[in-house]
Amino acid sequence: MSPAPRTAFEAMLRRRFLIGGWPWRCLAYLLTATLPLTAAAVPVGVLVLPWVVAVRRVADAHPAPLAVALFALLGVVLVAGAGPLVAVPLAELERRRLRLVDVRPVASGHRTVRGPWSWLRTRYAEAATWRELGYLCLFIAVAPVLSLALLLFALVVGAFLVSPLLARDGTVALGFTSVDGPWQALPYALAGLVLLPAVPYVLAVVAGAHAAVARSLLRHGPDERLRAELVEVSRSRARLVDAFEAERRRIERDLHDGAQQRLLSLTLQLGLARLDVPPDSPAARSVADAHEEAKRLMTELRELIRGIHPRVLTDRGLAAALREIADRSPIPVTVDAELPDRLPAHVEGTAYFVVSEALTNVAKHSGASEAVVTVRREAGLLTVEIRDNGDGGADPNAGTGLTGLADRVAVIDGRMLLSSPVGGPTVVQVELPCNQR
């Protein structure tokens, strides 16, 4: 059994269309358009007609095309400014009426907001509002013409059908011709009888076309919903990145200015105590051990602070921070970084930690004897390439290191490319958008 038709176009292709309910649904859809058409035409007419009259007067008084165009432009701006206040409620009503001839679900493209000012600010910023304004203009301009054409067609068919009765009393005009008597009107009655079954189909065509236009302009499709959700996810992710960077900087500052300074003071005090304690006393060995432990802890704390957010990255930028990484690397690393300007903080931080983690992997797993780090910024895109001459064969599925790098890059809408054939070389290329936010 074939599924039930969902639209007027699908219904009119069925054999039982004429004896089903779809012709009456199409008629109801077209007839109920009168109320929203009138409700929308009145405020739009109040906006447009005074400007039409004014433009006519300006054209008569000052026939300069520029003056007329500027005056007409003011009217367009006025309609664009006030039109959404009419288009949005009209669109909601039209989505409800659309169920008469199109049973498929149709969702609004508007976000839910509270408060009049938030409503206005949100609606004027949404693409759905301007599509609804376009539908309003089409509705007011085209619907009356179609309604008049349908009415004339129905009147002509009806006049043909009853023309023999009307012609009994004399000559009757049938639009483009006239007949004298019932026998002369009989061919027109037969033509009306033939055209009568076509009326429901004409209704279905007009109603289906109207519904198709309404659905295309008033529907918030899955692709648009997904696009809106992706935009919101991108914005929230950017806010999380900024919050994470701010929190990391706070931790680094607290460790540097708080714990590190206290540990430095403790180290100095232990050093002084070590000098005051006689070398051959029982406490000398304990103080010496505590002093050495404090110095090792001081070194570890410096490395921890550098790992959280290196001071050189904040003070001198990405190029200097990468050269510092190269100096600390157990294998020779050449840094080629041409960055005349500072980059956004979140980009510098991501690039730094990607290079740091990549060089750590090179030193531990690749068997390389040297590595090269190349950094370029072109057309709002920062490209970072780490190349080594190791054994290759790096596999993201073999561990979490490369996957973690890719995830960290993806947080700021970047991407990571990996080339690591067996035998080498291994190339990790990272592309980060670095436009100012």
Q: Are residues 298 and 342 part of one domain?
A: no
Does the pLDDT of residue 1 top 70, yes or no? no
pTM for the structure as a whole: 0.49
- Distance from first CA to last CA of the chain, Å, rounded? 58
Q: Which of 425, 352, 361, 362 is nearest to 382 (CA)?
A: 352
Confidence of residue 254 (pLDDT cuts 50, 70, 90): low
Cβ atoms of 17 and 200 within 8 Å: the answer is yes
Domain-located, residue 3: no
Mean pLDDT of 137-152: 86
Secondary structure (3-state) at 3? coil
Instruction: Examine the domain organization and report whether 178 and 323 are in the same domain.
Output: no
pLDDT at 293 over 80: no
Q: How confident is the model at residue 437 (pLDDT cuts 50, 70, 90)?
A: very low
Closest CA to 59 of 48, 72, 50: 72
Of 2-6, 15-19, 359-363, which gets the smallest average pLDDT?
2-6
Q: Which two tokens stand for residue 211?
A: 């519904």
- For residue 2, tell me if it sits in a domain: no
Instruction: Choose from 13-22, 82-91, 258-267, 300-309 the range with maximum mean pLDDT.
Output: 13-22
Answer yes or no: do 282 and 397 share one domain: no
Q: Which of 282, 308, 334 is the last residue of a domain?
A: 308
Question: Is the pLDDT higher at 144 or at 411?
Answer: 144
What is the percent of the chain where pLDDT is above 70? 76
132, 235: one domain: no
Q: Where are the alpha helices (DSSP H) in 62-115?
A: 65-97
Distance CA 433, CA 381 (A): 5
Bridge partners of 180, per DSSP, are 171
What is the C-alpha separation between 296 and 267, in angstroms, rounded? Answer: 10
Q: Assess whether the previous peptide bond of 425 is cis (omega < 30° from 0).
A: yes
CB neighbours (10 Å) of residue 71? 16
Residue 1 inside a domain? The answer is no
The model's pLDDT over 225-248, given as tens digits with 9 standing for 90+, comes to 556 566 666 666 666 666 666 666
Q: What is the pLDDT of residue 354?
A: 86
Provide the number of structural domains found in the chain. Answer: 3
Q: Which of 220, 248, 280 is the last residue of a domain?
A: 220
How is residue 98 annotated by DSSP? G
Tell whether 61 is covered by a domain.
yes
Give the model's pLDDT for residue 55. Answer: 61
Task: Assign residue 407 the CATH number of its domain.
Answer: 3.30.565.10
Indicate whether 203 and 228 sit together in one domain.
no
Comparison of pLDDT for 250 and 20, the residue scoring more: 20
Q: Is 31 within 8 Å of 203 (Cβ atoms)? A: no
Tell me the pLDDT of the chain averaged across its residues. 77
* 402 occurs within a structural domain: yes
Q: Which pLDDT value is given to residue 63? A: 57
Q: Per the domain annotation, does 137 fall within a domain?
A: yes
Is the pLDDT assigned to residue 117 strictly greater than 80? no
**One domain for residues 60 and 125:** yes
pLDDT at residue 132, rounded to an integer: 85
pLDDT tens for 62-85 read: 555 655 566 556 666 666 777 788
| 397: in domain | yes
- Asked if 148 and 126 count as a contact pair (C-beta separation under 8 A), the reply is no
Question: What band does 111 get if pLDDT is binned at 50, 70 and 90?
Answer: confident
35-40: list long-range contacts, CB under 8 Å, 24+ apart: 36/90, 36/93, 36/94, 36/97, 36/139, 37/139, 37/140, 37/143, 37/144, 39/90, 40/86, 40/90, 40/136, 40/139, 40/140
Tell me, yes or no, whether 387 and 254 share the same domain: no
pLDDT at 198: 87
Q: Position of tokens 């433009």?
A: 55
Domain span at residue 26 reads 8-220
Q: Is there a single domain that holds both residue 74 and residue 212?
A: yes
**Phi and psi, residue 187, nearest 5°:** -60, -35
159-193: pLDDT as tens digits = 788 777 877 776 776 666 777 777 777 887 888 88
In this predicted structure, what is the pLDDT of residue 220? Answer: 65
What's the Rg (C-alpha) of the chain? Answer: 39
Q: Looking at residues 149-167, what average pLDDT do you find? A: 82
**Tell me, what DSSP letter sits at residue 5?**
P
Q: Looking at the structure, do residues 232 and 101 belong to the same domain, yes or no?
A: no
- Quote the pLDDT of residue 86: 82
Please, which pLDDT band fits residue 307 given cuts at 50, 70 and 90? low
Element (H, E) at 382: strand 381-388
Helix 127-166, helix 65-97: angle, nearest 10: 80
Region 275-286: mean pLDDT is 72
What whole-number distance in Å separates Cα of residue 130 and Cα of residue 88?
A: 9
The last residue of one of the domains, among 284, 308, 332, is: 308
CA distances from 410 to 316, 344, 351, 365, 414 (A): 25, 16, 12, 24, 5
- Euclidean distance between CA atoms 13 and 337, whole angstroms: 68
Residue 29 and residue 175 share a domain: yes
Q: Do 323 and 252 belong together in one domain?
A: no
- For residue 143, being part of any structural domain is answered with yes
Whether residue 231 is found in the same domain as residue 261: yes
E strands along 174-310, which residues?
178-180
